[in-house]
Amino acid sequence: MASCYLVLPSPVRTIPNCLTSFTRSLPSVQLACQPVVFKPISCSLGPKEELSVTNLNFKKQLCRAKASMAGVSDEKTQGKVQVFDSEEDLALALAKYVAHLSNQFVRERGAFTVVLSGGSLIKSLRKLVDAPHIDSVDWARWHIFWVDERVVPKDHPDSNYLLAHNGFLSKVPIPSGNVYAINDALSAEGAADDYETCLKHLVHNKIIELSGTTGFPKFDLMLLGMGPDGHVASLFPGHPLVQESKKWVAYIKDSPKPPPERITFSFPVINSSAHVALVVAGAGKADVIRKALGSDDQKSDLLPVQMVSPEGNLAWFLDKDAASKL
């Protein structure tokens, strides 16, 4: 039995109606609830295929301008790099970008699957809760996931869920049944397996698409931040997990950055996305941005951020401080 939590902003609610369809389609799966602040939903099902993420060749170019935004579309693997005069301008453009994709996917498939990360990314989403987006976005069609999470209680200061709830989710009318947090009552390994099983249920029920190229889940939009060491999600430089090629969701017990126990999407999942946005602000990350986006070939090992190469579209959102050494 596995369970993934559906987030509740306040009192405990009833189990979502989708569980009845799960019961009909998968009679052998046991569904259960745990009487805590968050209601669980049992999940299983879905294929796996191997995808190599090694030996990626990144040649990225940047076009900078004096205006508040400068963008250049290069080859698919290079992505689109945009540099903004301020983090405020970055946040405004990011909100417009996310709202546009939301409208597109809701129109095309009736749902919009969004993967969040932690850190400063949540702050950069703040303009989505302002006009015109708060009223124009079809929030009821959103489904929220996390690219990584710390295995701590949801009210713990290190929780990515808590960060997202306080800074974004509590301010928009996304249905609680469409917000999928980890089961923090489990071990790191158990939480990773449980979250992967949850994703497979949602693929089976066509909430999440499956990549026809890789066989991994294909999220509509993955919003990633980047650490000052070049890590994304909980995939750190030199850690064996950067080479994980089979699991959808992996666990880590020795994170170089506390807390040590986490779950994380693997690179095959990240790189199966339809759209990936890398959002980076601040002078403290300028050296890593120079390495990731500089025109010179890199002779050293790739940083995790350099291994982000989606089958869909890649967009970089940088403020001028982060891009200052390019």
The 10s digit of each residue's pLDDT in 170-179 is: 999 999 999 9
d(CA 207, CA 178): 10
Residue 261 lies in a domain: yes
Residue 205 lies in a domain: yes
d(CA 40, CA 32): 7
What's the whole-number mean pLDDT along residues 239-243?
96
Asked whether the predicted pLDDT for residue 25 surpasses 50, the reply is: no
**Beta-bridge partner residues of 250:** 264
Average pLDDT of every residue of the chain: 81
Give the three-class secondary structure for 248: coil
Residue 30 lies in a domain: no
What's the whole-number mean pLDDT along residues 208-220?
97
Q: How confident is the model at residue 280 (pLDDT cuts 50, 70, 90)?
A: very high
b/e code 248-258 from CB counts within 10 Å (16+ = b): bbbbbeebeee
Query: Token pair of 25, please?
Result: 């389609």
Percentage of the residues of the chain whose pLDDT score is greater than 90? 73
d(CA 129, CA 71): 24
Q: What is the pLDDT of residue 99?
A: 98
- What is each CA distance from 65 to 97, 256, 278, in whole angstroms? 19, 36, 19
Domain tally, the chain: 1
Which of the pair, 57 or 246, is modelled with greater confidence? 246
Give the three-class secondary structure for 262: strand
Q: What is the pLDDT of residue 301?
A: 82
Question: Could you tell me which residues come within 8 angstroms of residue 108 by beta carbon, excluding any fewer than 6 positions away?
Answer: none
Contact 151, 182 (CB under 8 A): yes
Q: How confident is the model at residue 27 (pLDDT cuts 50, 70, 90)?
A: very low
What's the whole-number mean pLDDT along residues 17-30?
33
Give the three-class secondary structure for 101: helix
List the one residue out of 266, 225, 222 whose CA is nearest residue 247: 266
Contact 124, 88 (CB under 8 A): no
For residue 246, give the CATH number of its domain: 3.40.50.1360
Residue 213 lies in a domain: yes
Residue 66 lies in a domain: no
Q: What is the pLDDT of residue 78?
A: 56
Q: What is the pLDDT of residue 51?
A: 30
Q: How confident is the model at residue 68 (pLDDT cuts 50, 70, 90)?
A: very low
Q: What is the pLDDT of residue 79?
A: 85
Phi and psi angles of residue 282, each rounded to the nearest 5 degrees, phi first = 110, 140
Other CB atoms closer than 10 Å to residue 69's CB: what's the count? Answer: 14
pTM across the whole model? 0.79
- What is each CA distance from 91 to 159, 173, 292, in whole angstroms? 23, 20, 22
What's the whole-number mean pLDDT along residues 236-264?
96
- What is each CA distance from 17 to 4, 23, 34, 188, 246, in whole angstroms? 15, 11, 17, 28, 31
Judged by average pLDDT, the poorest of 6-20, 44-58, 74-88 is 44-58
- What is each CA distance from 34 to 140, 195, 196, 298, in whole angstroms? 25, 16, 19, 49
Residue 50 lies in a domain: no
Q: Over the stretch 122-172, which tens digit does the pLDDT of each residue have? A: 999 999 999 999 999 999 999 999 999 999 999 999 999 999 999 999 999
Give the three-class secondary structure for 244: coil
Residue 13 lies in a domain: no
Which of the pair, 124 or 52, is modelled with greater confidence? 124
- 238 φψ region: left (φ > 0), alpha (ψ -120 to 50), beta (else): left
What's the whole-number mean pLDDT along residues 302-321?
96
Residue 22 lies in a domain: no
Residue range of the domain that includes 123: 80-294+303-323
CA neighbours within 13 Å on the CB side: how many for 51?
26
